[in-house]
């Protein structure tokens, strides 16, 4: 596969730097969905029509204004095996939908992997920007700049009353999905999480797991995103998300202070037990690994562990996923074998 680094390096360059509120907010993401005028949606298109869309959109990358985003490397889904596709999904560089698409699906990825442009996914064009910490406005600024360049070259499917037309009705309007990945262990431990998430759903936002719709929230990681794309402007969507996330951050900080003040010894014991199990376990399934890594991350953030960096934990979050695990060891594994190799990988990484 060309551009093999995208599937062999666990940590994207954008993840190596911190961002605002990075102790609680892991990442911010903005995704814009667009379709071309007078062309069938990807699910209805023929192979030739999909190929034509890919060629038309790829030609836009020659616009000199695209140079401000650095080199964008093309990755054709037809050139990837199933394992490589799985790794790209685990790194959030492509969606599960694109991984399952075989007709002229492609993604163009920037050097630091903060920008990925998916073609012939559920929609003809999906522009995605990823930033560390709470930088949803910065992600939106970059995504809309890329969108402006494409719009200067192609005609979008647009209705004066409904806005941008998309394959899924829930994206009609702005076509914008803005999301923030949050680590909320203290709200879970103090049993406040259900109340908080219930309140979130009342203000036009939704909560999902680490891989978006249909995925489970493991390792105390929750993805907060807008649910409404029609009837609100892009700025209103971004501002609403930012405002709610700031409130959740304050609740999480208060819960962490409460845990330290009321049960510091118990918290230290929990963190150190998880750290010890990660260091010495011979078998570790993905759900337990996510929970133990969450405990240790909280320990680092609270100053209970000082000999471990968050960057190592970020790497392990990706490396312990099924696809990357098999990619690293170059072995096709059963679920039981993955548990063994996962424990081995964690021991080796933390042991350094």
Gap between the Cα atoms of 91 and 11, Å rounded: 8
Rg (CA), the chain: 21
Instruction: Dihedral sign for Cα 339, 344, 347, 352, please.
Output: negative
The reply to whether 273 sits in an annotated binding site is: no
The reply to whether 116 sits in an annotated binding site is: no
The reply to whether 211 sits in an annotated binding site is: yes
The reply to whether 212 sits in an annotated binding site is: yes
What is the greatest pairwise CA distance in the chain?
64
Gap between the Cα atoms of 92 and 84, Å rounded: 12
With CA atoms as reference, report the closest residue to 183 among 133, 145, 232: 133
The reply to whether 31 sits in an annotated binding site is: yes
The reply to whether 188 sits in an annotated binding site is: no
The reply to whether 264 sits in an annotated binding site is: no
The reply to whether 210 sits in an annotated binding site is: yes
The reply to whether 178 sits in an annotated binding site is: yes
Residue pair 53/155 in contact by the 8 Å Cβ criterion: no
Q: Can you name the residues that pair with 159 across neighbouring β-strands?
A: 163
Structure tokens at 327: 């990619």
The reply to whether 27 sits in an annotated binding site is: yes
The reply to whether 30 sits in an annotated binding site is: yes
Structure tokens at 91: 């790194």
The reply to whether 341 sits in an annotated binding site is: no
Gap between the Cα atoms of 274 and 271, Å rounded: 5
The reply to whether 209 sits in an annotated binding site is: yes
Long-range CB pairs of 145-149, under 8 A, 24+ apart, other chains included: 145/68, 146/66, 146/69, 146/115, 146/117, 147/32, 147/34, 149/60, 149/63, 149/65, 149/66
Gap between the Cα atoms of 178 and 134, Å rounded: 12
The reply to whether 29 sits in an annotated binding site is: yes
The reply to whether 323 sits in an annotated binding site is: no
- The annotation places the binding site at 27-31, 92, 126, 177-181, 208-213
- The annotation places the binding site for ATP at 27-31, 92, 126, 177-181, 208-213
């Amino acid at each position: 596969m060309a551009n093999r680094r995208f599937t062999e390096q666990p940590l994207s360059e954008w993840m190596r730097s911190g961002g605002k509120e990075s102790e609680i907010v892991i990442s911010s993401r903005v995704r814009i969905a667009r379709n071309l005028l007078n062309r069938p949606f990807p699910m209805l298109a023929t192979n030739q029509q999909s190929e034509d869309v890919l060629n038309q959109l790829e030609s836009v990358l020659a616009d000199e204004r695209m140079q401000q985003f650095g080199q964008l490397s093309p990755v054709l889904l037809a050139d990837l095996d199933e394992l490589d596709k799985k790794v790209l999904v685990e790194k959030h560089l492509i969606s599960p939908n694109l991984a399952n698409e075989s007709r002229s699906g492609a993604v163009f990825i920037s050097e630091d992997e903060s920008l990925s442009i998916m073609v012939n996914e559920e929609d003809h064009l999906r522009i995605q920007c990823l930033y560390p910490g709470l930088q949803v406005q910065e992600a939106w600024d970059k995504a809309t700049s890329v969108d402006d360049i494409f719009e200067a070259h192609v005609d979008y499917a647009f209705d004066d009353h409904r806005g941008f037309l998309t394959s899924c009705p829930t994206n009609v309007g702005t076509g914008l999905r803005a999301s923030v990945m949050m680590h909320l262990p203290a709200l879970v431990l103090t049993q406040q999480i259900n109340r908080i998430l219930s309140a979130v759903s009342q203000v036009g936002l939704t909560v999902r797991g680490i891989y978006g719709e249909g995925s489970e929230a493991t390792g105390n990681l929750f993805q907060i995103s807008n649910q409404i794309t029609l009837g609100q402007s892009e700025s209103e969507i971004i501002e609403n998300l930012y405002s709610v996330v700031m409130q959740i951050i304050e609740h999480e900080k208060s819960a962490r202070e409460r845990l330290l003040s009321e049960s510091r010894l118990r918290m230290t014991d929990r963190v150190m037990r998880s750290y010890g199990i990660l260091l010495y376990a011979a078998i570790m399934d993905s759900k337990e690994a996510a929970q133990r890594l969450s405990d240790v991350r909280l320990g680092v953030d609270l100053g209970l562990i000082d000999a471990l960096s968050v960057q190592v934990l970020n790497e392990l979050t990706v490396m312990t996923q099924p696809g990357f695990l098999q990619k690293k060891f170059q072995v096709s594994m059963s679920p039981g074998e993955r548990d063994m190799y996962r424990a081995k990988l964690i021991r080796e990484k933390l042991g350094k």
